[in-house]
């Protein structure tokens, strides 16, 4: 049985929700960031799968994936910088402990 679009989509959706779940539950900011990467990767998977199986003559999906990867890298860079600064101020990167701003 050859893997088809459905299978890949299934994986990507699973990945998406794993990412979402991780984002919701992990306390460590870095892990949360990683969860987001999972979400983005599921998107990438989507794009590539669609490109390959549905629109093989249009390469938009591939290009989009590359851009997503780039942006994700930039985002991670900035996010980590922010987290470092946060760590300086809070001495922790536990997201539960960072909630001075509320209500």
Q: Check binding of 103 to another protein (CB under 8 A).
A: yes
Q: Check binding of 30 to another protein (CB under 8 A).
A: no
Among 8, 11, 18, 20, binds another protein (CB under 8 A): 20
Q: How many CA atoms lie within 13 A of 30 on its CB side?
A: 6
- Would you state the structure tokens that stand for residue 58, as one six-digit string? 């249009």
Site string for another protein, 35-74 (x = CB under 8 A): -x--xx-xx--xx-xxx--xx--x-xx-xx--xx--x--x
Q: How far is the CB of 1 from another protein (least distance, A)?
A: 22
Contact 68, 44 (CB under 8 A): yes
Q: How far is the CB of 103 from another protein (least distance, A)?
A: 5
Contact 15, 42 (CB under 8 A): yes
Q: Cα–Cα distance between 3 and 14 in angstroms, integer?
A: 16
Q: How far is the CB of 62 from another protein (least distance, A)?
A: 11
């Amino acid at each position: 049985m050859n893997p088809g679009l459905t299978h890949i989509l299934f994986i990507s959706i699973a990945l998406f929700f794993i990412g979402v779940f991780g984002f919701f539950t992990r306390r460590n900011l870095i892990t949360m960031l990683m969860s987001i990467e999972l979400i983005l990767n599921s998107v990438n998977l989507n794009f590539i799968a669609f490109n390959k199986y549905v629109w093989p003559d249009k390469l938009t999906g591939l290009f989009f994936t590359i851009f997503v990867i780039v942006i994700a890298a930039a985002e991670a860079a900035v996010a980590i910088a922010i987290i470092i600064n946060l760590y300086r101020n809070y001495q922790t990167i536990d997201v539960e402990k960072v909630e001075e701003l509320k209500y």
